[in-house]
Amino acid sequence: MLLEVCCFNPCAAVWAIQRNVDRIELCANRDVDGITPAVDDVARVVAWRDQLRSRTKIFVMIRPFPKDPSRPFQIDDAELEEVLGVIRLLPQGVDGLVFGALRYETHADGRGLCATVDIESVQRVTRCAGACGLSVTFHRAFDACVSTVDEAAKAVLLLRTLGVKRILTGGGQWGRAVDHLPVLARLQEVSDQDHETPPLTIIAAGGVTQSQLALLAAHGLREAHGSLLGREMARASCPVCGCHCLVPLFQDRSSL
């Protein structure tokens, strides 16, 4: 099973690449669950990966800083243009990007907000990414816009038609992926059974550990995502910027 590790700074990314992680998701600002990192930081990580001749894939989070905490995955027209501009500036060697956008409306009863996939924004991003040779993962905004298995299945098929290649999800719920295995398995099954559009991979997310990978694979899942935020951290010298940043303690992929 492919394992992706979320890295909130270049130092953590280099640390993960040195330890043969399959793929990293490079982002910034852990406090808001990740936003777009500086393009210069992306370039440095790519250069270091290439210098090591590592096979680690690099996906980059593309997300503006959320303006409204009650609508964390909403982007306006100006932000969308900024997003498209950043995608075009990504250095050669980036393998994919991670994006998600929702539209929010007030529920009919006036209580709370209802979120749905922002079709126009997602479509424009997948087209721009495709022109740059990049695949798109729809991030955990997915879990904020579905509340039933049927809604999640329909959203999977919608995102396939929009050109998304992967969906990062805990099964339509925040929390641990292992607590929603039947839902995750069902979503992958739904995607695999639809032959009208290119295949889409469900990435199991939420508290994923190395010990759970076999269980996830047994349910038909092919990829998993972990942030390693719960691991013991230590300061290490970064070969990219020379600083001493906090990075997760692990020796290689097998110890994750």
How far is residue 108's CA from residue 111's CA, in Å, rounded to a whole number?
Answer: 8
Considering the segment(s) 2-255 as one domain, its CATH architecture is: Alpha-Beta Barrel (3.20)
**Token pair for residue 131?**
């022109």
How far is residue 152's CA from residue 154's CA, in Å, rounded to a whole number?
Answer: 5
Q: 0.75 cut: is pTM over it? A: yes
Mean per-residue pLDDT for 38-43? Answer: 96
Summarised one tens digit per residue, pLDDT across range 72-96 is: 999 999 999 999 999 999 999 999 9
Q: If you compute the radius of gyration of the chain from its CA atoms, what whole number of angstroms results?
A: 18
Whole-number average pLDDT of the chain: 88
Summarised one tens digit per residue, pLDDT across range 200-218 is: 999 999 988 878 999 999 9
Lowest-pLDDT range of 121-125, 187-191, 225-229, 248-252: 248-252
Closest Cα to residue 52, out of 242, 239, 255?
239
Are the C-beta atoms of residues 28 and 9 closer than 8 Å to each other?
A: yes
For residue 31, the SS3 value is: helix
Domain boundaries, the chain: 2-255
Distances (CA, A) of 65 to 37, 39, 103, 120: 11, 15, 16, 20
**What pLDDT score was predicted for residue 229?**
47
